[in-house]
A and B are shown apart, each in its own frame.
Chain A
């Protein structure tokens, strides 16, 4: 695994915008093709195997939470429990997720966290970096079958979607909007009917959730966290309505940082895991304190002997977990985190590709930079 400096395409801004990435340059660039990461095929094999293994482990962890009623440990409200359990039993469709992994090409990948409910940076990983590869290194390869897998999965899920229709909703936010627009595109390519609207346009008529046109919502992909939905005004209606939600309610078990100590309890010293605890750092020398329901690297405390680094934010009221600090190897002064995507949940075949985000600090936040990759 190497970080290699490169000359950006002369009109890279136009090219990434044409691929859908309109927010490539904010206060600081988000897309960076002045460098790329190069992997060997063996390293890609390692990442693929780790992703499939972690998928299996996290499903076992979800079963463990349900079997042992550990909801309070995860700060999950009682009102959500019937939804979680019924959706787990019914196995409704689930689309995707993203493991964030620390990896240096030498040691086994380590799970930093699992974005199981509302992952973004999908368009960059699935499409934008693929066009970069075609333009710059057309004879080389990329660990990326995300687009094909998404289209194929929608075709598979079509039979579960009332009227072969899936509606998408998100907040009024550029990145979220583009993520659902891209997903809508993949659903269209699979032959599904699909629309998009802001989540606050969802209506309720006393028995049914409705779209902005007041038509009943059969199946909805919501890029909006379950823990927020459950606590909002319409949350109390979710159990009574027939609307099918993607991601399904049981995903709130896995998007919760509390799943990290539970994984460690179930699989102690597993090579893909970092030690994690609900109760404090224990004997860990260097550790990270994360909010159970934190997002985007907010309210993180990194502790090393003699040095604490903390990020701001407004998360943490539900409690925290403590996780051993991963050693994020520095590549030219940058710390990459690998977002390893799962498409669907087919055992042993869910890993669909990777996207890398790097930062000059060891915390990945919503301002970390996306850098493309390739392998031989």
Chain B
């Protein structure tokens, strides 16, 4: 039985991993800014990238990221083109209903964890 031990993490968890190990780009990042996708990401607390959902916490309202992007561009900053459709939500097939879970949580001010 192990009553206490030293943790040996092989990778940095969560955000550290997400930002280092994958080539996805945040739509609110000034270098890969996408107006519609960023608005949706700030609103939803995350974004789709290539069909996968990535939860993110945005500390500021959308205009902050837009202004940051505009400042970046006007000062000659680099912008990376993200292929169209990259941030799209996966399309649903005919005859499939969505949204049947989540309504109770949407009515509460905080998350579902405790």
Contact = CB atoms under 8 A, between A and B. Distances in A.
Given A123-B14, A147-B9, A170-B111, A23 B57 contact: yes
A296 B3 CA distance: 28
B39 to A, nearest CB: 14
Given A145-B5, A185-B17, A348-B1, A296 B103 contact: no
Contact of A178 (B4, B44, B55, B93): B55
A128 to B, nearest CB: 9
Interface residues of B, number: 51
Interface of A is mostly: mixed
B36 to A, nearest CB: 17
B63 interface: no
A259 B100 CA distance: 29
Contacts of B106: 171, 200
A157 interface: no
Given A45-B3, A185-B14, A178 B57 contact: yes
Nearest to B54: A196
Contact residue range for chain A?
A: 35 or more
Interface string A184-211: 0110010000011111111111100010
Contacts of A121: 113
Interface string A209-230: 0101110000000111100110
A44 interface: yes
A232 B3 contact: no
Interface of B is mostly: loop
A200 B101 contact: yes
A179 B102 CA distance: 17
A40 B4 CA distance: 12
A229 B92 CA distance: 21
Given A19-B13, A120-B111, A181-B55, A172 B46 contact: yes
Interface of A: 17-20, 22-23, 41, 44-45, 48, 115, 118-121, 123, 126-127, 130, 141-148, 170-182, 185-186, 189, 195-206, 210, 212-214, 222-225, 228-229, 231-235, 237, 295-296, 314, 348-349, 351, 353, 366, 375
21 contacts: A20-B13, A20-B17, A127-B9, A143-B4, A171-B105, A172-B45, A173-B110, A175-B110, A178-B57, A181-B18, A182-B13, A196-B54, A201-B90, A204-B96, A206-B95, A212-B92, A213-B51, A224-B105, A228-B112, A235-B101, A314-B108
The 9 closest A-B pairs by CB, nearest first: A177-B55, A20-B14, A234-B100, A120-B113, A173-B111, A200-B102, A174-B57, A176-B111, A228-B104
